[in-house]
Amino acid sequence: MAEENNNKQAAVSKPSAAKSGATAKAKPVPAKTSAAKTGVYKPAEVRAEANPFKDSKMGAVENWMQERFHILNPVIDYLRKKEVPQHRLSFWYYFGGLTLFFFSIQIITGLLLLLYYRPTEAEAFARFVYIQTEVPFGWFIRQVHAWSANLMVLMVFIHMFSTFFMKAYRKPRELMWVSGFVLFVLTLGFGFTGYLLPWNELAYFATQIGTEVPKVAPGGEFIVRLLRGGEEVGGETLTRMFAMHVVLLPGLVMLFLAGHLMLVQILGTSSPIGYKEAGLIKGYEKFFPNFIAKDGIAWLIGFGLLIYLAFVFPWEIGVKADPLAAAPDGIKPEWYFWAQFQLLKDLKFEGGELLAIIIFTIGALVWVLVPFMDKRASREQKSPAFTIFGLLVLAFMIIGTFRVYLEYGW
Ligand code: HEM
């Protein structure tokens, strides 16, 4: 009798997706075994159907997928239900996707460049010239990689500040912000490590200055040697920058990106504080397919801009680096480090560099911990103090960047 019950329950517990197609609605009932009473396990005679989809009316491909991946049905159902709020600031929701788009371009073009590049002091520059002048479409791939890097950094800045001002970091999205901040640092890391790879004069001396910065901090000597692979910037530095650029950073980005995007899907898109109560939400649109289609349009526009820039404003290769030569005038880092560069220049007094490092470190810590400090936002109340803080940070970046531009030009 007990066995008969077991068999009935085992039959109930088979996936019910066969008739309903993609969705398995009925909750499986755990099959009790007589083991609970006797301690002896007797296998049920009627087992769950090996192929619960064999009588289904699905197409061959869907059936093939369902047989293998039906466990993912609840996830797909969840994503189908996901909605994005529509309001006058919805425009800013496109920048996370655009960052992702330019990152994908980086992976593809970076892999193609890897086919020809060699990270040695003797060959790096020559290989760049070769890619640029000899390899079919090599110039195009290199230009797209260089421009897409710049656009990715620009997009990540816009995405970070827009989510900041919309207070999208507030409870329960704290970890979206923290993972995003890590991605921001990694993105800047890509820029820094990639800059040296062509092994030209400008990149060489800029890396010399850039890798020197930690020196004044406690334990900084160690970081400098770790980055350079020796006392000075040289072949060892190139190998290290290359390894970080093509292995370490992509790996870390993939890891944090997976977490970031998973949280985006689980927690959904936030609306600005007070919008719901004030009736400013015009409606909600489905993430699949509506929002993702609009994302696609944004990507097409981004792609158009990228191709235009690659054709019309090509990046130069410059002159091969000569470590024995004196540094030329006007050495400056990439534009996204200009604000920090300007601060270092402004604090050119005894202990000034250390002060700048302390300011950056405390600033970065406060920035990453904002979601945990902004208690008003987590209670869905406006938090003007944090808005002002964000405006000050933005002003620091824009003014610093503009001052470097005025002094050095582009
Ligand atoms: C490689 C870099 C990054 C990629 C590819 C990326 C991607 C995305 C995507 C696709 C979304 C959903 C659409 C959107 O709201 O824009 C999103 C949302 C979000 N991201 Fe990022 N992100 C990156 C970096 C950052 C950074 C630097 C921050 C902040 C420090 C950040 C914070 C957030 C937050 C808080 C949301 C939720 C927005 C909301 O719910 O309204 N992300 N991200």
Convert the pLDDT of each residue in 33-45 to its tens digit. Answer: 555 667 776 666 6
- 40 and 92 within one domain: no
Contact, 31 vs 43, CB < 8 A? no
Question: What is the domain range of residue 58?
Answer: 2-75
Is residue 340 one of the residues assigned to a domain? no
The CA-atom distances, in angstroms, between 393 and each of 18, 85, 165, 272 are: 56, 28, 12, 20
Is residue 356 one of the residues assigned to a domain? no
Using one digit for the tens of pLDDT, what is the confidence trace for 117-164? 999 999 999 999 999 999 999 999 999 999 999 999 999 999 999 999
Centroid of ligand 1 to alpha carbon of 180 (angstroms): 6
SS3 167: coil
CATH of the domain at 171: 1.20.810.10
Centroid of ligand 1 to alpha carbon of 21 (angstroms): 34
16-20, 120-124, 225-229, 403-407: segment of lowest average pLDDT: 16-20
Residue 63 banded pLDDT, cuts 50, 70, 90: confident
Residue 359 banded pLDDT, cuts 50, 70, 90: very high
What is the rounded distance in angstroms from the CA atom of residue 68 to the CA atom of residue 131? 44
- 293 and 267 within one domain: yes
- 271 and 144 within one domain: yes
Residue identifier of the C-alpha nearest atom 15 of ligand 1: 93
- 116 and 230 within one domain: yes
- 137 and 208 within one domain: yes
How many CB atoms are located within 10 Å of the residue 309 CB? 18
Q: Is the pLDDT of residue 237 over 50?
A: yes
In this prediction the pTM is 0.87
Query: Which percentage of the chain shows pLDDT scores above 90?
Result: 78
Residue identifier of the C-alpha nearest atom 1 of ligand 1: 183
Centroid of ligand 1 to alpha carbon of 159 (angstroms): 6
- 327-348 residues labelled b (16+ CB within 10 A) or e (exposed): eeeebbbbbbbbbbbbbbeeee
Instruction: Identify which of 154, 173, 197 has the alpha carbon closest to the alpha carbon of residue 315.
Output: 197
Is residue 62 one of the residues assigned to a domain? yes
Residue 382 banded pLDDT, cuts 50, 70, 90: very high
Whether residue 199 has its Cβ less than 6 Å from ligand 1: no
Residue identifier of the C-alpha nearest atom 23 of ligand 1: 180
Residue identifier of the C-alpha nearest atom 25 of ligand 1: 180
Centroid of ligand 1 to alpha carbon of 160 (angstroms): 7
Q: Which atom of ligand 1 is nearest to the CA of 271?
A: 41
Residue identifier of the C-alpha nearest atom 13 of ligand 1: 96
Whether residue 269 has its Cβ less than 6 Å from ligand 1: yes
Is residue 65 one of the residues assigned to a domain? yes
What is the rounded distance in angstroms from the CA atom of residue 288 to the CA atom of residue 189? 33
Read off the tokens for 410: 């582009």
Last residue of a domain, one of 324, 349, 368: 324
Name the region of 37 (left: φ>0; alpha: ψ -120 to 50; beta: rest): alpha
- 56 and 87 within one domain: no
Q: Where are the alpha helices (DSSP H) in 13-59?
A: 17-20, 35-38
Is residue 348 one of the residues assigned to a domain? no
Is residue 400 one of the residues assigned to a domain? no
